[in-house]
């Protein structure tokens, strides 16, 4: 279950992940997962996994990384595809 309050608190504490947004409360889980995987460090990824759960985060990642117009860096997409296949 996604706790949007926790997601928004998470991303507000890390403005370096989504620097181009003014209102963090309007972000959905997809945007937060994408920014964290693309630009965050390992601690950011682990914190978000604790908030969302690894299965939920994996589902969000897999749903949007496989689209033809994905914003995931190819290396990031490859790594986390292997990671979530192993651990989720």
Question: 3-class DSSP state for residue 14?
Answer: coil
Give first-to-last CA distance, the chain, whole Å: 15
Between CA 25 and CA 20 the distance in angstroms is: 14
The confidence band for 3, taking pLDDT boundaries of 50, 70 and 90, is low
pLDDT band at 68 (very low <50, low <70, confident <90, very high): confident
Q: What is the pLDDT of residues 6-45, one digit of tens each?
A: 899 999 999 999 988 888 888 999 999 999 999 999 999 9
Higher pLDDT, 80 or 22: 80
């Amino acid at each position: 279950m996604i706790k949007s309050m926790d997601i928004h608190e998470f991303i507000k504490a890390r403005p370096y992940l989504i620097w181009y947004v003014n209102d963090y409360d309007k972000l959905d889980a997809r945007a937060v997962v994408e920014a964290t995987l693309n630009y965050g460090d390992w601690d950011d990824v682990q914190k978000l996994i604790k908030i969302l759960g690894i299965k939920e985060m994996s589902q969000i990642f897999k749903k949007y990384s496989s689209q033809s117009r994905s914003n995931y860096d190819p290396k990031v997409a490859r790594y986390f595809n292997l990671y979530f296949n192993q651990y989720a």
